[in-house]
Amino acid sequence: MMMRTGLAHVVAALVAATAIPAHGYQVLDPGSIVEGKSIAAWNAEWWTWIWNAPVSADPLADTTGASARLDNDRAVFFIAGAGSSGSYERTFDVPAGRPLLIPMINYWENCVGDPAASCGPSYLPDPRVQMAANVEVVKARDTNPFLSIDGTPISDPYSHWEVSDFFSGGIGTAGTTLAALYGSFGLPFVGLDISPSLAYGYYAMVTDLAPGAHTLMYGGGDTVTGLTFDVTAHINVVAIPEPETYALMLAGLGTIGWIARRRKG
């Protein structure tokens, strides 16, 4: 009898530990592994997504939500932040079942081509040394990151600090957001490796958001850079068939057509 009672307690504890909260979503712990990668690694991919977006559809400058789904078909759905101070309001659909990576306030650095030209003499001989030192300086700032989901603020947003490993953002391509930024300073970019790159900041990884309409409010401020922004994202979590689902549907229709022709014959 005692063994059965003990087993029941263990089962109950396991169920409680894995249960989805009453509000219908989970904000994962910092450093969690999601779809085989750390949140910090997804942070690096998030910036690669931003840098390689066309200038005409920059997700950070989006004021409507029109760019939210552009090239956004990874295992984690990227929510865009803001590239300049101000208030942004966006409306868009999010595929059901995909975790959401939401930036509160975040930063990046890279030295493309000649580090002395693209970053400065202090980044020599190894740019990564200065970049790593900058991470600690920025972390010490009072940047006031925040995120609320359907009116409920997440707890302790400062705990959601994530720092990527050094990475490459790909090969510099003309017409992208990062090409435009480098071009504005007269720096070479096209055809060069976007490396070393480093990304860091406050991110929340949210899972199990129930189908239907939700409102995300997030942002932060940095008195050193002068960047202060807030974003209101009206999202609709919907079941959107993935490409492989369409393929299966078409295959099924083809099979039905073949059977119909056989019966006709």
User: Using H for helix, E for strand and C for coil, what is the string for the chain?
Assistant: CHHHHHHHHHHHHHHHHHCCCCCCCEECCCCCEECCEEHHHHHHHHHHHHHCCEHHHCCCCCCCCCCCCCCCCCCCEECCCCCCCEEEEEEEEEECCCCEEEEEEEEEEECCCCHHHHCCHHHCCCHHHHHHHHHHHHHCCCCCCEEEECCEECCCHHHCEEECCCECCCECCCCEHHHHHHHHCCCCCCCCECCCEEEEEEEEEEECCCCEEEEEEEEEECCCCCCEEEEEEEEEEECCCCHHHHHHHHHHHHHHHHHHHHHHC
Per-residue pLDDT of the chain (265 residues; tens, 9 = 90+): 333 333 333 333 333 333 445 567 999 999 999 999 999 999 999 999 999 999 999 999 999 999 999 999 999 999 999 999 999 999 999 999 999 999 999 999 999 999 999 999 999 999 999 999 999 999 999 999 999 999 999 999 999 999 999 999 999 999 999 999 999 999 999 999 999 999 999 999 999 999 999 999 999 999 899 999 999 999 999 986 655 554 554 555 554 444 444 444 5
User: Quick one: CA torsion of 65, 239, 237, 242, rounded to 10 degrees?
Assistant: -50
Pair of tokens at residue 96: 């059901």
222 vs 194: CA distance, rounded Å: 25
Distance of CA 51 to the CA centre of its chain: 13
| pLDDT score, position 244 | 57
239 vs 34: CA distance, rounded Å: 20
CB atoms within 10 A of CB 42: 24
31 vs 2: CA distance, rounded Å: 38
